Amino acid sequence: MNRTIGFIGAGKIVDIMLAALGPALAGDDLWVWNRTPARSEALAARYPVRVAPGIKDLAERADWLIIAVKPHAVAKVLSDAALCVREDALVISMAAGVTIASIQAHFTSPRPVVRIMPNLPLSVAQGMTAICPGETVPEAATTALLELFSSVGLARLVEERLFDTVTALSGSGPAFAFLFIESMADGAVLNGMDRVQAYEFAAQTVMGAAKIILDSTKHPGELKDIVASPAGTTMAGIHSLERKAFRAIVMDAVDAAARRSKELNAST
């Protein structure tokens, strides 16, 4: 069944989604609106998506209305669009920290609302997408979203109480991983390796280690022990990381990102 899908917002995540999900959305009628028309027109020049003349027009058309703006802008776009959203339309929010209840508050009668949190790796079909349907969301709609995002990685149902954690872990997580890979490569460059080669070795090593965890039933600590032989190079490196509280630093980073997500909801 073909759908009319409307995107409120034309930022980087919409660009990434249109590129990655293009084959899965083939046959759907895609529309976009952005407060800066040039950004919508730029997407329309590259993808089979049409530019809506206004936010109310987009809301009236959409079977799926995807909110893809910054958290602080959600209230403004919903105040403009809410009266035009059809009762049977599925409202899908990607805004970090904005709850289903706060979205529902903009409507005079309940709408089916879903929160999703995709991440950057869906651009290479390795995404991790969290999906949280509200109480009134039809099962068929939840299944359709799971199938859509499973076409570009993994998609899982997650309770809303964990969405701030998801935002920190898989939403912000790629940036933490990029920083780790860059740091590993810097260490190799420090020891004489060419930077291009260092990035390739570091990135492939992290990707391979991640796949082992996904494919294995072994605990990450057990896998670490397989590599870390007595008095070897790996244990020397691990000792250096642990002396500098490596695990606590990473835990603090995820915790800080999760707390910031909670703060965003409090400010909307």
pTM given for the model: 0.93
Domain ranges of the chain: 4-159, 173-266
CA distances in angstroms from 197 to 78, 121, 178, 207, 209, listed in the order given = 48, 22, 16, 15, 18
Distance CA(234)–CA(5), nearest Å, equals 50
Q: What is the pLDDT along the chain (268 residues), one digit of tens a residue?
A: 589 999 999 999 999 999 999 999 999 999 999 999 999 999 999 999 999 999 999 999 999 999 999 999 999 999 999 999 999 999 999 999 999 999 999 999 999 999 999 999 999 999 999 999 999 999 999 999 999 999 999 999 999 999 999 999 999 999 999 999 999 999 999 999 999 999 999 999 999 999 999 999 999 999 999 999 999 999 999 999 999 999 999 999 999 999 999 988 776 6
| Radius of gyration for the chain, computed over Cα atoms and rounded to the nearest angstrom | 21
Residue with tokens 């995820």: 254
Distance CA(247)–CA(265), nearest Å, equals 28
Distance CA(209)–CA(218), nearest Å, equals 12
What CATH number is given for 4-159 in this structure? 3.40.50.720
> Do 116 and 95 form a contact (C-beta atoms < 8 A)?
no
Residues in the chain: 268
Give 114's strand partners: 92, 133
Positive or negative torsion for Cα 9, 176, 121, 144: negative
Answer yes or no: same fold for 4-159 and 173-266: no
What CATH number is given for 173-266 in this structure? 1.10.3730.10
